[in-house]
Amino acid sequence: MSEDLKKEINRRRTFAIISHPDAGKTTLTEKFLLFGGAINTAGSVKGKANSKYAVSDWMDIEKERGISVTSSVLQFEYDDFCINILDTPGHQDFSEDTYRTLMAADSAVMVIDASKGVEAQTIKLFKVCVMRHIPIFTFINKMDRDARDSFELMSDIEEVLGIDTCPINWPIGSGKEFKGIYDRKAKTVRTFTAVSTGGAKKAEEKDYDIDSDEIKEIVGEEGLEKLAEEIELLDEAGNEFDIEKVRQGELSPVFFGSALNTFGVEIFLKYFLEMATTPLARRAGDELIDPVESPFSAFVFKIQANMNKAHRDRIAFLRVCSGKFDANKDVYHVQSDRKFKLSQPQSIMAEERKVISEAYAGDVIGVFDPGVFSIGDTIAAPGTKFEYEGIPTFAPEHFCRLIHQNSMKRKQFIKGITQIAQEGAIQIFEEYTAGMSEIIVGVVGVLQFDVLKHRLENEYGCEVRLEALPYQFIRWIKDPSTDPTKLKRMNNVKAVKDMKGNPLLLFVNDWMIKMVLEDNDGLELMEFRKN
């Protein structure tokens, strides 16, 4: 192991940004990019017709609706760190994509709206982070608007999410009275001058000693007295900062600010980079794969078709877990037991790409997928004997029959639904006896149906119609040799096959699941399937 390799890996920071919709996640992401020099002007997700779209929202449907529907990868350099941001959809209908993306992150930044506190989607995503024991950093956003009491917000995080908190800085006022933030470690007050969403690289910021005459004039006697009382209360009754607890996912450092006005963003980024871990070791079966000591290895956490309309290609996103990737060397694809060179390896900035010759543990790279990769696959140096754990597939909760309107474009239609299904956002099933002439689509959230229809029509030129089906539950049959057409009590139960030919049953309600199990001795059903 060379010192250069160790240095390159240790300067990586790979994190996901999670939040409820409209908490300001995409705005915060873009301000990070501004500080890193990766973009010159921040877009606005809900901008006017002439403003730039958010960098991380690159799909047409995202630009039209002002929501993120797929996760984005954004890599940039800042202060001698190489940062990989995994920006995730906030809407719950796209939570499966977020779940897979969190599997590729070493830590998470949780964005909370100061006026709303912890919201439903934050809870779901947070539980995934807890399950993986990854460090969680909290940015309480929109302090320049009317906000809940700061102590209330801290209690909300602790009670609803069950994690201890430790404020690294503390707000002075909120809304129109928001004067700045107090840095508890440096014992300084940072004040701000508000800026508009675009154009300026960063707001004018100035640090003052807490005892200075200038800060008394800016904040006022009453404001300083209130701040002193609050800091005293935090020092006496709050949780002490403990980096080990942070790295075990038991304590969340909390920061306050306003992403839109760039209040507190750079100070958050600097503290985060100091506290966040270097790339973490990953488990593969009984082995723990060290990021520095082990040779190259990676796993596929996302597949995306048609990122670039000019190329009509499929990109597999790899999280490099260990060692150094060299584009000139063969890699081993564990699932197919084949050796080959990865085609067109590239670093990614949303839809923009740059061909690369090397990458290190912690990096996320895109490679051309000729149709051999699946989500969860392991790719490593030849001679590798281990395999990273697969990523579970969520059970769909909504189902539609997909009807193709133009039989002349059958080939494009089959290609389109197959490619979109391989990305993992939707699941497609064939009726057990009718085959591909009867296609059923299952999704976790109903907005995925809109995305599917939009993409089939705009990316593949296929006009389609969706008919809602009454099924709410899906179960895989554990023994794949079972013929579901010979099962008893199958009224209001639909037998289908997934893309790999595995038999499944669709149920209208959970009572029917119990009935089918009772009437068919030895039948075992599964709620989840590993890819």
pLDDT of residue 200: 47
| Alpha helices for 380-429 (secondary structure H) | 410-422
Domain that holds residue 465: 392-530
Give the pairing type, strands 81-87 and 12-19: parallel
Q: Where is 219: in which H helix or E strand?
A: helix 213-219
Read off the DSSP letter of residue 243.
H
pLDDT of residue 244: 95
Q: What is the CATH number of the domain that holds 291?
A: 2.40.30.10
Are 51 and 200 in a shared domain?
Answer: yes
pLDDT of residue 372: 86
pLDDT of residue 48: 35
Domain boundary among 323, 356, 380: 380
- 278 within 8 A of 9, measured Cβ to Cβ: yes
Are 346 and 448 in a shared domain?
Answer: no
Question: Which pTM was predicted?
Answer: 0.76
| Spans in the chain with pLDDT lower than 50 | 44-71, 90-94, 197-201, 311, 531
For the stretch 191-210, pLDDT in tens is: 876 655 444 445 567 888 88
Are 238 and 292 in a shared domain?
Answer: no
Are 258 and 243 in a shared domain?
Answer: yes
pLDDT of residue 436: 60
Position 3 in a domain: no
pLDDT of residue 309: 56
Are 267 and 171 in a shared domain?
Answer: yes
Q: Give the total number of structural domains in the chain.
A: 3
Domain boundary among 275, 306, 336: 275
Q: End-to-end CA distance of the chain, in Å? A: 33
Query: Closest Cα partner for 531 from 377, 395, 408, 411?
Result: 377
CA distance 205 to 143: 16
Q: What is the CATH number of the domain that holds 432?
A: 3.30.70.3280
Domain boundary among 275, 301, 331: 275
201 contact partners, CB below 8 Å, separation of at least 6 = 34, 35, 40
Query: Closest Cα partner for 298 from 265, 264, 330, 332?
Result: 332
